[in-house]
């Protein structure tokens, strides 16, 4: 299950996010979204877990957890199947 984790500290890293979710279950992939120019953390990332029940448990546990003085918000990630690089709507 792909999950979107926001409200993270700027000093957060992908491995930190991975360890955070790995404590509740098996983490398939965890990455922090960084800026393309400054290459700095944007304060949010994505976590993918193979086990759905573990993902839901981790989501329920990590969501609202106090980290670095901020409540981490965990929500289900939106599908990025659509072509964002197209620039035109193929719908019409």
The footprint of DNA (CB under 7 A) covers: 2, 4, 6-10, 29, 31, 33, 36, 38, 40-44, 46, 48, 70, 75-78, 80, 84
- For residue 84, count CB atoms less than 10 angstroms from its CB and return exposed for 0-12, middle for 13-18, buried for 19 or more: exposed
For the CB of residue 31, give the shortest distance to DNA in the complex, in Å.
Answer: 5
For the CB of residue 68, give the shortest distance to DNA in the complex, in Å.
Answer: 7
Give backbone dihedrals phi and psi of 58, rounded to 5 degrees, phi first: -65, -40
Instruction: Give the residue with the Cβ less far from DNA, 24 or 46.
Output: 46
For the CB of residue 71, give the shortest distance to DNA in the complex, in Å.
Answer: 11
CA dihedral 63, 67, 70, 72 (to 10 degrees): -20
């Amino acid at each position: 299950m792909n999950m979107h984790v926001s409200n993270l500290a700027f000093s957060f890293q992908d491995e930190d996010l991975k360890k955070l979710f790995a404590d509740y279950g098996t983490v398939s992939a965890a990455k922090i979204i960084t800026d393309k120019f400054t290459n700095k953390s944007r304060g949010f990332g994505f976590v993918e877990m193979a086990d759905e029940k573990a993902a839901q448990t981790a989501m329920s546990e990590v969501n609202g957890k106090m980290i670095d003085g901020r409540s981490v918000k965990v929500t289900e990630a939106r599908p990025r199947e659509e072509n964002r690089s197209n620039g035109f709507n193929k719908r019409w």
